[in-house]
Amino acid sequence: MSKIYGILLTLIAGLFFLVGGIITYKVKNKDKLNYFSVGLAFIVMLGLIFLDILPEVWELLEKYKLAEKIIFLGIFIILGLLILKILDTFIPTHHHNHKDNEKEHEEHISHIHHIGMLTIISLILHNILEGFMICGLAISNFKIGLLIALSIALHNIPLGTHIFSAIDLKKDKVLIGVLSLSSFFGGLIFLLGGHINNLVFALVMAFTIGMLIYIIFWELLPEVIVNKNKKETFIGILVGLGLLIVSLGL
């Protein structure tokens, strides 16, 4: 029975991306939602790295010396960043400078879609690992697994809002489906395999950190800077900070 509860938690956590999607489709002004979601995603992804993933990686590497930890992290973070930079070249070109004419507006929409695609790619990998972790924790201690799943679900709402406001659901529905079920896939991997070496787990998570760093500082931050005077961007940042505070209290 504990295995069933564990796999259900992974499914529920992943489906919270769709909650963010529902919020997106209830909002009529998509431009304002884009400004809001970029500010929100910028803060939430920073929190995801420094409050969730990095401490988990550090704990998984606890038996290694400090220098070894730094080397492992540095190599795989840089590798993740470089891989996403390479993937970046296969996604339509974009610009960060947006003005109020029609051409620049179209470029802005293209760039938002570009960020959404990169975010989906990196989060699929990240969520598979999270699902693995949720299922394992829930089977050994359901209360801890439940709290972790709730915390992750809170992160997934604003990320879902950002992604759904950035992509074309008709064209990208397969990727959205894979993203929403990626935590569930991670739970299934745990049930089938039962264990992954801590070092391998940590290195894959460090690789994911590199991918997220690329999105935050090369994609989201320029958007935040360009739209820093938009009140929706500021509100998104404040809401993101609020969600991080709530998740820390869980």
Q: How confident is the model at residue 134 (pLDDT cuts 50, 70, 90)?
A: confident
Q: Give residue for tokens 């609020």.
A: 242
Q: What is the dihedral of CA 213, 217, 223, 225, to 10 degrees?
A: 140
- Helix, strand, coil percentages for the chain (3-state, nearest 5): 85, 0, 15
Q: Which of 145, 131, 147, 139 shows the shortest CA–CA distance to 187? A: 131
Cα 106–chain centre separation? 25
Q: Is 219 helix (H, G, I), strand (E, B) or coil?
A: helix
For the record, the structure tokens of 9 come out as: 């938690």
Domain count for the chain: 1
Nearest to 126, CA basis, from 146, 155, 147: 155
The one-letter amino acid code at 184 reads: F
Of 47-61, 172-186, 192-206, the poorest mean pLDDT is in 192-206
Q: What is the pTM of this model?
A: 0.67
Expressed as residue numbers, the domain containing 155 is 2-249
Pull the structure tokens for residue 128: 């598979």
At 96, the pLDDT band (50, 70, 90 cuts) reads very low
For residue 111, what pLDDT is reported?
A: 62
**With 0-12 CB in 10 A as exposed, 13-18 as middle and 19+ as buried, what is 89?**
exposed
pLDDT of amino acid 163: 80
Say if residue 222 is exposed, middle or buried (CB neighbours under 10 Å; 0-12, 13-18, 19+). Answer: middle
